[in-house]
Structure 1
């Protein structure tokens, strides 16, 4: 918006009015504009001029019609809000129109626009009202005869009057600046789209408006932390691609806007001189938006493996828990990862012996605990201290875990062949190799008794 840059220059000039010392230049030096072809009755000579005046080498605009034009030897100070020549407050819509026109056209180089601006200023601030009349000869109370000058100014000026008045009514303030964070969850390190908008009093967006912004806990895609955004040619909000770098990304935006009411500058040494207005019809708007960003979600994938064959084990039930192996793990939205029973979620390994858990909050230490031993692995399963695998899930990463199950010990039977060819049934025998002292004494006694009987029988035969 080129006129915004020009208005900024003019604003600086307006502020300088308060401090620049008086210089000895001519009274009422004309700037840019047009002379009307006639002078309103009872008006002070020179009042036919419609345009800017040069005051201390700066272009200014006058109100208080018919009073002498600004004298560069007279200092001016910032006064109150602009009022009518009758001393009344301007209607809100008129005050907003003047603010916008000063902001938009005070730096114009067009004689037609300069004359049109002067005509509108006098029409709105010095219209007949009470003591301010058309039939007085006192310049302090002489009203501006708008129809008279409309007929005496060039048609091109009156064309500009109509165009600029319509422009003011369509674009006047107060404007509203707003900034909006994305509705979707924000991820640290991931690009997101934020918007800033500048809306006029009629609810429509200001076209091609420049909005400055600074970022906190975030950067632009190129790494910078601030810049300018421009609204669309149709007034659509400006979009900004922002990358959160911390948990609380935010944007602070500023934009220039027409003020609700323009500020007038009045002469210091005398009351008998016109008041001046510059770009005092602008103000700075501020807006901010905040967001909450998280690290990227992570995932865990576990594989169940036979310790001896190294083959995967399917159908193993695993409970997903936090580090304590009791409470549930957290999902990316910070809700607990639980089943329908409200307890930590239980999953089963698939045919490939694996199971994956996505969308986990990061960073987070997570454990997968075996719920029950799979068939063939019961012997080494302790329900009081079940096998578990734990690790930390990092942002945007998949944690790979592995859990090994030891198979049951095989039972090796002892057999006695029942046939020579090995085709007959086989009987399984068990042996007790424990030596018992009592049994050994009894057996010895029987042996001795048998020997004695044998000796007695031999003696009888002899």
Structure 2
């Protein structure tokens, strides 16, 4: 349904509906609508007009047909809830129908819709009831003969009557406005979809309804912080795509709704003037929704290398901690990054000497601490002050770190390299176990000589 801001008043009967005032200074000008082909018996001339009047530059609907038109020079003030010509409260469904039609059609440009609105307002507020009769000659108590005028209005008006009545019964209030934040986590600087629903009494959505909204800690794609959304042609919720700019994005929505009951006003304070109902068929509905937004998650990637060869070192155990190198780092969902033992998570470098930790809360200072020395690097590893690399994570960024290990000192070889010609000759000791005769005689002579000297020394001592 098309929607426009309500900017008119509809004049209807109230507790007391009197005869034409003799002091009226001006007669309202007919607006848009249709004349019936005949005048109801005992009705004031001019009552065959079904449509709007121009009153103070506004289109109004006067359902008190005892008067030819509302006084165009007289203002009004707020009064009581609209009642029937017999002085009774309107039935809740009738009051809701009137409020809805005033909200939806009071600014119509269609002559058929204007006439249909006048006919329905007369039918619902001035039906025969007790002293309000069709056979009276007193306009104060003359009922509206709906059947008489239905037979004398053009067929397009009657078609509009059926359509407006069905529209009112299907879409009348009370309405309820609600706003909903996305269920998924909100990230600052990232677009998310929020919804605003406008539901009728039957819990079905109001179709094509405009809804104004303002944003806090958020903006639209064009940078604005306010706008208008519209519910779907099937009554589906209006969707609003916004970008969080702070930690507490929120939306405040406002929509027009039919009032529970239309409100009566008095054009002037005399006993001889009709009552009227204004755009009091409208009321404002408000709704709000809020969420919590975080900065985009970050990641850290560390590379473990040999200080001398610059080659990657695989299989190195690293503990992921905060700045104090003891506490667990925080994940994007604000939980601790721990292993199955409940302690800060320990990871190992892969074949390329790297390990990456994603989905970390930002901003946050991260440290990767070596748990134990890899083989070949034990000599320079101090378990009381293990090697560590630290840095600060930025939103949506990957922090690159490097951790260097110094290899053990080289061990002196058992062979001594020699030469510089590209080959490596080795000097070794030579051992020969073959027994040659000359060698054997020499050795025997030495043994005999030794024995003789030993005997001589013993003889001298004795």
- With normalisation by structure 1, the TM-score equals 0.82
- Counterpart of 1:321? 321
Note closer, same or farther for the CA distance 1:340–1:75 as it changes in structure 2 (3 Å cut).
closer
Aligned to 1:307: 307
Residues 110, 315 of structure 1: alpha-carbon distance in 2 compared, 3 angstrom cutoff:
closer
In the TM superposition, what is the alpha-carbon distance from 1:289 to its structure 2 partner? Answer: 1.3
Any gaps of 5 or more consecutive residues in structure 1? 12-22, 427-456
Give the gaps of 5 or more residues in structure 2: 10-22, 418-424, 432-456
TM-score for the superposition, normalised by structure 2: 0.82
List per-residue Cα deviations over 1:377-427 (Å, max 9, x = no partner). 11111112211111111111111111111111122257799xx9845589x
Q: Secondary structure at the match of 2:193?
A: strand
Alpha-carbon distance in 1 for matches of 2:303, 2:370: 12
CA contact (8 A) 2:2 2:208 kept: no
Q: 2:383 is matched with which residue?
A: 383
Shift of 1:371: 0.9
Q: Are 1:179 and 1:195, in contact at CA under 8 Å, matched by a contact in 2?
A: yes
Q: Which residue of structure 1 aligns with residue 444 of structure 2? A: none
Question: Which residue of structure 2 lines up, in the alignment, with residue 76 of structure 1?
Answer: 76
For 1:214, the equivalent position in structure 2 comes to 214
SS in 2 for 1:314: coil
| Partner Cα separation in structure 2 for residue 380 and residue 397 of structure 1 | 33
1:130-184 Cα shifts (integer Å, max 9, x gaps): 3323333332222222222222323332222111111211222222222221111
Question: Where does residue 225 of structure 2 map in the other structure?
Answer: 225
Correspondences of 1:417-428 after superposition (within 5 Å) = 422-423=427-428
| Aligned position for 1:132 | 132
The Cα offsets for residues 215-264 of structure 1, whole Å up to 9 and x where unpaired, read as 11111112121222222232322222211111111111222222222222
Cα distance in 2 between the residues matched to 1:199 and 1:66: 39
Matches within 5 A, 1:91-170: 91-170=91-170
Three-state SS of the structure 2 residue aligned to 1:215 is strand
* Structure 1 runs, 4 residues or longer, greater than 6 Å off: 414-417
Local SS of the residue matching 2:8: helix
Q: Following the alignment from structure 2 to structure 1, what is the Cα–Cα distance between the partners of residues 426 and 191?
A: 81
**Distance of 1:242 and 1:164 partners within structure 2:** 37
Partner residue, 1:14 = none
1:51-450 paired onto structure 2 within 5 Å = 51-67=51-67, 69-412=69-412, 422-423=427-428
Residue 422 and residue 162 in structure 1: after superposition, are their counterparts in 2 closer, same or farther (change >3 A)? same
> Residues 176 and 404 from structure 1, CA distance in 2 versus in 1: closer, same or farther, beyond 3 angstroms?
same
**What is the CA RMSD across the aligned residues, in angstroms?**
2.8
